[in-house]
Amino acid sequence: MSRIGKNPVAVPDGVTVNVDGQTVKAKGPKGELSVVVHDDVSVKMVDGKVKLDQRVNSLRAKKLWPTMRTLVKNIVVGVKEGYNESLEIQGVGYRCAMQGSTLVLQLGFSHEVRYDVPKGIEIKVETPTSIKIAGIDKQAVGQAAAKIRSFKKPEPYKGKGIRYTGEYVPMKEGKKK
């Protein structure tokens, strides 16, 4: 039995959750999200909590059960509190700025790197070397952060590039004479 899947998802105050067949919709102060639960997993509301269970006893259902429970939990937390990710840029001359709804990055290339902010995501440039990404969809926030980081990953010799705040980059020793 899954340790994650057997725990019901608590619905906090200010959030309403509707279960309609295999679709779970959550509405809260930050917005509205929905997720479609796989057919091998049953979903229902029990005592103000969302309860998920295996429909069939198969290996596939055992694997999907905790995953679907986590997806439901993510939308409930997202509409209540939202998700944040922060990135920092390290390197001489590396910086970023917002121009309308486009993030402009100068990362040592001969050209500027432009990233159009996706719908549902909010990007703030606090300083020229720090970026805050916020939104209600955990997957979209993480995808946006990963895409921005992929433009210039931190290299192992000087550590220059874009990294998550607090990320440890193992450094290599340079060439010796």
Any domain includes 155? yes
d(C-alpha 85, C-alpha 122), whole Å: 11
Contacts of 114 (CB under 8 A, 6+ apart): 102, 103, 104, 105
Q: What share of the chain is helix, strand, coil (3-state, %, to 5)?
A: 20, 40, 40
Residues 51 and 91 placed together within one structural domain of the fold: no
Residues 71 and 110 placed together within one structural domain of the fold: no
DSSP string covering 5-42 = TTSPEE--TT-EEEEETTEEEEE-SS-EEEEEPPTTEE
Residues 33 and 103 placed together within one structural domain of the fold: no
pLDDT digits (tens, 9 = 90+) for 64-115: 999 999 999 999 999 999 999 999 999 999 999 999 999 999 999 999 999 9
pLDDT digits (tens, 9 = 90+) for 39-69: 999 999 999 899 999 999 999 999 999 999 9
pLDDT digits (tens, 9 = 90+) for 127-160: 999 999 999 999 999 999 999 999 999 999 999 9
Any domain includes 170? no
Range of the domain at 91: 83-164
pTM: 0.89
Residues 135 and 154 placed together within one structural domain of the fold: yes
Q: CATH number, domain at 144?
A: 3.90.930.12
Residues 93 and 65 placed together within one structural domain of the fold: no
Any domain includes 176? no
Residues 108 and 57 placed together within one structural domain of the fold: no
